[in-house]
Structure 1
Amino acid sequence: MHLGRAFWRLLASSGFSNLADGTFKVVLPLVAVQITREPALIAGLVFALTLPWLVLTLPAGAVVDRFDRRVIMLAANTTRAALLAALAGAVALDVAGIGLLYAIALGVGAAEILYDTCAHSLLPQVVARDRLPRANARLFAVELTANEFLGPAAAGLLVAAGAVVAFTVPAALWLVAVVVLLAVRGAFRVPRQQRTTLRADIAEGIRFLVRHRLLRALAAMVGVFNLASSATAAVFVLYAVGPGSAMGLTDRVFGLLLTTPAIGSLAGSLAAERLVARLGRARALGLGFTAGTLLLAAPAVTTDPYAVAAAFAVAGFGIAVLNVVAISLRQQVTPDRLLGRVNSAYRMVAWGTMPLGAVLGGALAHLVGLRALFAVATALALTALLGLLTVTDRRIDEALRAVSPG
């Protein structure tokens, strides 16, 4: 199936943007541990980076449905580039403390909300709905390779070259993404039949999600999983990096370790269509969630970096399958005019748990220790599988049949 020139340009822009994301999110804690080794402060960076998902997601979705989605994506990446350029300048002047890192993390997180909500809402305007699973598989393959494979690998090398370089490179990558996205021609603003308030728009999106049993259950499942995974991700650098850590890795090896989920993610993205055809969507989701818990479980049982890397690769495969199935389904059953708001309401539930998880991770690491935290988080993540009692192939087929042009 032909996906069109606009899709491939969007894909290229997304690749550069996600490469910047993946680099920055690993560079940030690696630079921070040179300032402090306090678990609560390190976990607080993840809280700052993800807090906007909890407090800004709903208005962001309403904005995405009101204005041209491509223009918003351009503005978001330009903002992120400017913030990191300012941070690189502060580092060069030796005035960058942990407080500034928190402020930049908040700003980058806020811009990320607008970019990601637009990206998921714009795709059905570029690709026909029956081609969305294939388009999402290609998009995730590039995004995950850039965000989780190339980005983390580059981060370790960039930090070794110095904090100024480490922050300048992702800023430049976001600007490249802007240039490529400018080549995607057309208007991407959804026609509005009547003028409404922002509050009314947000409420309409929330009502659609709350009344849609399938999407509601999926949002809750992903929210529980992200709560658990964010708890471990927030402090994993303390478990893995430094001579006093459990794993004793260097910055460079830590960056390489974080690339292993992307190896599995690339395979999972490309295999998702075939797996769904063979297993059905519900079983594919179950496979994705189950395999994904290895991301949390492996450090609980071993400090061997090779064993952890292998488990991370399997987890990446599962998470990629989960993402392709869940996001394609959300795009297929939601009317275009509501897609930004439904995406934002969904992700407030699914991603809004991440800052809570970061706080939980910092607190539990302090109380019970890092290794015990991974075990607790694994048990919590597995409870997401209870949602499969609701998300069945029969209900998915019914939802798809009920779709009408919106």
Structure 2
Amino acid sequence: MPSPGELIAPKRLGRDFRWLLASSWTSNLGDGIALSAAPLLLASLTSSPLLVAAGAMMQYLPWLLFGLFAGSVADHHDRRRLVMLANASRAVIVLGLVVFLATGHVTVWVVLASAFLYGTAEVFADTAGSTLMPMLVRPGDLGVGNARLQAGYLVGNQLAGPPLGAFLFAAASFWPFLLQILCVSLAVVLISRIARTPVPAKDEPTADAAKVHPIREGLQWLRAHPPVRTLIVIILVFNVTWAAPWSLLVLYATEHLDMGAVGFGALTTASALGGLVGTVCFGWLERRLSFATLMRVCLSLEVVMHLAFALTTIPAIAFVIMFGFGMYAFVWGTISTTVRQRLVPLHLQGRIASVNMVGIFGGLVIGQLLGGLIAQGWGLTAPWWFAFAGSAVTLLLVWRSISHIAAAPPALDVPGSADAPPA
């Protein structure tokens, strides 16, 4: 019988993967603590739905400003070192917020400014970090590797972190952020154990190609590759519809469902529990169902989830919905990441990942702004109705394209690509 360590991080994935996994899990615990503590801090400073939504929006706005540049930087520098520097910067920024909290000088605007600076550092950390997996494992193991990273995200960011953050916030507003600093700092130490990651080699450019700006080179590749381009568009639109109500979940839980601060944190815990079930089932699903089928099922469940939240007023039902959300969201995140990593050449991983992240967080920024405006005018359930209608229409439009995305051939310039199974 395999040991727990072998089940979590199989030896075939290598030592460096284990350091990456440990760093990712630790960082996600810190982010999970802030996931509940940050909106609770804003809600304690203002009752405006627009300002509460702006907290998350300011953290994601840097993706629109610096995302493509971060992708180019990741493709031309030591990616491991970039992650270390960016995460160290995140720890310093949170330390500054703690000083304001401890001295009693914190305001809504201090929190929003901290969120923007933190989000800027996160752009470089996440972009460079997303390129490490294809450099450390064979393409045929990307699904397993991404599933393990997703499991850490679920346990740390969704399961353990939020209730711990809510509990610590109830004790004193600065405690959850101190623990977040500790986790992010430890993540820097862990990822430093990975061997230096050289800049991926590529063919010598022609005289004309040498004149192409690195960011433009990535965009040109994306324009000529419809499967990846369509996948990014799907992610963009579904993040707009998802973020509209999700940015106000703290108000929806505490005011509409009357669950309190701890209940709000417990909602994300229910999502994480569902995700863990998805973790256990993923290998079985991957062996028995096509990626196209799984992608369609996940997006269909997203539509149903929005409708269910719009209709319910019962906390117990909200927990069931969140549990189901965790199950399918985990499967979708693992599949979409694996498909993209298999289809993109190694030397473009950073730039295409950054475009994907710009789509994710651009959608979040737009959705959060819309959600705040819609809730301000029509109440806390109105964003859920918007999300239901928008996601349903989008799914109908892209239904047939999903087959082309899942069946596209993998890139040939990554180690072991000839052994990679088809998506």
Q: TM-score range by the shorter chain?
A: over 0.9
Match for residue 381 of structure 1? 391
Offset of residue 96 of structure 1: 0.9
1:104 maps onto 2:114 in alignment = yes
> What is the 5 A alignment of 1:304-343?
304-343=314-353
1:290 maps onto 2:300 in alignment = yes
Long gaps (5+) in structure 1: none
CA displacement 1:34-86 (0-9 Å, x = unmatched): 11101111111111011112221110100000111110111111111111111
Among 404, 412, 415, the residue aligned to 1:404:
412
> What is the 5 A alignment of 1:7-406?
7-191=17-201, 200-241=213-254, 245-385=255-395, 386-392=397-403, 396-400=406-410, 403-405=411-413
CA displacement 1:364-396 (0-9 Å, x = unmatched): 00111111221121221223323231120x653
Equivalent position amino acid for 2:46 in 1 = T
Corresponding residue pairs, total: 400
* 3-state DSSP of counterpart to 1:303: coil
Instruction: Mark the CA change 1:106 to 1:91 in structure 2 (over 3 Å): closer, same or farther.
Output: same
Moved more, 4-13 or 343-352: 343-352
Moved more, 335-344 or 350-359: 350-359
CA displacement 1:71-115 (0-9 Å, x = unmatched): 011111111111111110111111110111011101111111111
Give yes or no for contact 2:168–2:175 (8 Å, CA) kept in 1: yes
Determine what percentage of the aligned residue pairs are the same residue. Answer: 30
Give yes or no for contact 1:156–1:256 (8 Å, CA) kept in 2: no
Long gaps (5+) in structure 2: 1-9, 415-423
CA displacement 1:299-353 (0-9 Å, x = unmatched): 3111211111111111111111111111111111111100000111122223311
Instruction: Mark the CA change 1:199 to 1:80 in structure 2 (over 3 Å): closer, same or farther.
Output: farther
Give yes or no for contact 1:125–1:188 (8 Å, CA) kept in 2: no
Equivalent position amino acid for 2:96 in 1 = A
Equivalent position amino acid for 2:313 in 1 = T
CA displacement 1:261-284 (0-9 Å, x = unmatched): 111112223322321322201110
Offset of residue 183 of structure 1: 1.6
Equivalent position amino acid for 1:350 in 2 = I
In structure 1, what is the Cα distance between the partners aligned to 2:257 and 2:334? 32
